[in-house]
Amino acid sequence: MMIFRHCYRIWWWWSSSSSLHYFHFLRCPQHLFNLQRQLRQTKLLVAARLNDYIIIDCSFANEYNNDISFENNYYERLQLKIHSCFTLLHRYHSPSFLILCNFSSNDNDKWLQNSPYCQTTSLSYLDLFSREQLVYLSPDSPNIMSEYEHNVIYILGGIFQKTKHEQITLEKAKHEQIRHQSLPLQKYLRFSASASTILSLNQVYNILMTLKHNNNNWFEALKCIPERCLLR
């Protein structure tokens, strides 16, 4: 009901000829913020009801336990990356709902556990979905992704920087006998010598959402990668 009340307020603001109402709305940016937040939540809840998911694999915390340069704990860093996924939700009419699988709860991840934007579970994605539904996106996979498949559920590894083990997501996909693919970055882009070709979670999420909503337009989707990473 709250979302409809806010929609009514916007309609009333546009339909009213009173300058006082117009001035009051602009003086209260909290109204606009609340509306945007509720619209994001509504879009994601619709996706959840339609079984439109993207999975974040959270089983890599041990890869960073002994890393001195990893200042924050694993789930604090994960929270920041996942929050970044939702900053561009206004671009998509049907963004996919996030499920965080292999999630190990602790006191530093209350936002993730209570977030309306994603669902956490200690279960594996193999406990929730059949192998035939899953595609693990790994930068090391030799299978190049050609298009967004609407009938599959993509898995993104919860990795932020170089891990102790090489090709860890590819090896995991092979071990679990899950189909795996990599994004066609080398086909469309040329990275600068100092840039990493390992993309962040929010970049991959927005690439997938752009492909989903723009008929597999890779040129539009790869604009999610900052220009500073590319050769001029």
Tell me what pLDDT residue 50 has. 59
Tell me what pLDDT residue 148 has. 95
Position 13 pLDDT exceeds 60? no
132-187 confidence digits (pLDDT tens): 999 999 999 999 999 999 999 999 998 876 666 678 999 999 999 999 999 998 88
For the chain, which residues make up each domain, given as ranges?
33-184
CB 47 within 8 Å of CB 94: yes
- The residues, ordered by sequence, that sit 6+ positions from 50 with a Cβ below 8 Å of its Cβ are 94
| Residue % of the chain over a pLDDT of 70 | 67
CB 232 within 8 Å of CB 190: no
SS3 sequence of the chain: CHHHHHHHHHHHHHHCCCHHHHHHHHCCHHHHHHHHHHHHHHHHHHHHHCCCEEEEECCCHHHCCCCCCCCCCHHHHHHHHHHHHCCCHHHCCCCCEEEEECCCCCCCCHHHHHCCCEEECCCCHHHHCCHHHEEEECCCCCCECCCCCCCCEEEEECCCCCCCCCCHHHHHHHHCCCEEEECCHHHHCCECCCCCCCCCHHHHHHHHHHHHHCCCCHHHHHHHCCHHHECC
Higher-scoring residue by pLDDT: 94, 125 = 125
Cα–Cα distance measured from residue 57 to residue 122, given in angstroms and rounded to the nearest whole number: 10
| Mean local confidence (pLDDT), 106-134 | 83
- The residues, ordered by sequence, that sit 6+ positions from 24 with a Cβ below 8 Å of its Cβ are none
Query: Which of the listed ranges 31-40, 44-53, 67-76, 109-118 does the model predict with the highest average pLDDT?
Result: 109-118
Cα–Cα distance measured from residue 150 to residue 90, given in angstroms and rounded to the nearest whole number: 20
Tell me what pLDDT residue 199 has. 85
CATH number of 33-184, picked from 3.30.70.1400, 3.40.50.1970, 3.40.50.1100, 3.40.1280.30:
3.40.1280.30
Six-digit token pair at 77? 């860093």
Position 44 pLDDT exceeds 50? yes
pLDDT class of 119 with cuts at 50, 70, 90: confident
Query: Which of the listed ranges 10-14, 74-78, 178-182, 193-197 does the model predict with the highest average pLDDT?
Result: 178-182
Over the chain, what is the mean pLDDT?
76
Tell me what pLDDT residue 172 has. 95
Position 191 pLDDT exceeds 50? yes
Higher-scoring residue by pLDDT: 228, 18 = 228
Tell me what pLDDT residue 114 has. 73
Position 121 pLDDT exceeds 60? yes
pLDDT class of 41 with cuts at 50, 70, 90: low
Tell me what pLDDT residue 92 has. 82
